[in-house]
């Protein structure tokens, strides 16, 4: 796959050798793939013949509700217990008690081996306690290091990254600049299929 994001200073592979891009000569056709890359050793090559060398881990965002933790199960149980409460998630302590989704925590840790993994979750704006409760859930289930990489944001397309694992399409997922992996879809019904896809994709 051709990488259109190559920039000056990047290392690229051309004819099985690694070169550093010194400058980029833009194509008069305005086709990025026709740009000419000039290397530090004096050689040049067309962009479409080069592949970027990945020196940093790809950025991967993971949603919380119904991806890492079982929001729907707790919501249904609370509605049965108290039918008059239409929004159980607005109650104190709701997010603290959410169960882990099957294989979620182990899969998260596996992906950390090859990816720069962050949590990206939408806050429940009608329950300000959720900011703290989600942070406490992360601390308990994934530890302080992951808590430091936890982002609460209502529009996920604002974040720059390579992959987003999320079950919903209502909060900017469709406009995310990288690849949106829809958790619970026919292609990615569970964590096992996602780990298999992402780990093989990086080999």
- Binning pLDDT at 50, 70 and 90, where does residue 2 land? very low
Strands 44-46 and 179-182: unpaired
The helix (run of H) or strand (run of E) holding residue 24 is strand 17-25
Could you list the active site residues? 63, 65
- Binning pLDDT at 50, 70 and 90, where does residue 31 land? low
**For the chain, domain boundaries:** 11-52, 59-201
Q: Compute CA distances 74 → 1, 20, 68, 135, whole Å.
A: 42, 53, 13, 18
| Residues forming beta bridges with residue 118, ordered by sequence position | 61
Q: What is the pLDDT of residue 52?
A: 76
Tokens of 50: 């080069």
CATH architecture of 59-201: 3-Layer(aba) Sandwich (3.40)
Q: Compute CA distances 183 → 40, 70, 195, whole Å.
A: 43, 13, 11
Per-residue pLDDT tens over the stretch 32-83:
667 888 988 888 988 888 887 766 789 999 999 999 999 999 999 999 999 9
The SS3 assignment for 92 reads coil
Per-residue pLDDT tens over the stretch 105-118:
999 999 999 999 99
| pLDDT reading at 1 higher than 50 | no
| pLDDT reading at 173 higher than 70 | yes
Closest CA to 122 of 164, 86, 85: 164
Q: Quote the percentage of the chain above a pLDDT of 70.
A: 93
Closest CA to 122 of 162, 166, 85, 79: 166
């Amino acid at each position: 796959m051709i990488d259109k994001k190559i920039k000056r200073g990047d290392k690229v592979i051309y004819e099985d050798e690694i070169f550093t891009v010194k400058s980029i000569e833009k194509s008069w056709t305005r086709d990025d793939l026709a740009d000419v890359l000039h290397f530090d050793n004096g050689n040049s090559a067309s962009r479409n013949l080069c592949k970027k060398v990945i020196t940093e881990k790809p950025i991967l965002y993971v949603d919380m509700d119904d991806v890492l933790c079982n929001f729907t199960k707790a919501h249904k149980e609370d509605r049965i217990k108290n039918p008059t409460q239409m929004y159980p998630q607005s109650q104190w302590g709701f997010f603290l008690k959410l169960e882990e989704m099957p294989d979620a925590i182990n899969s998260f840790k596996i992906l950390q081996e090859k990816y720069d993994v962050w949590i990206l979750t939408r806050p429940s704006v009608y329950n300000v306690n959720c900011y703290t409760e989600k942070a406490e859930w992360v601390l308990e289930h994934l530890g302080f290091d992951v808590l430091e990489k936890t982002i609460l944001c209502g529009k996920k397309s604002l974040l720059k990254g390579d992959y987003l694992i999320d079950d919903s399409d209502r909060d900017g997922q469709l406009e995310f600049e990288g690849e949106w992996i829809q958790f619970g879809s026919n292609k990615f019904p569970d964590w096992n299929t996602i780990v298999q896809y992402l780990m093989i994709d990086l080999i």
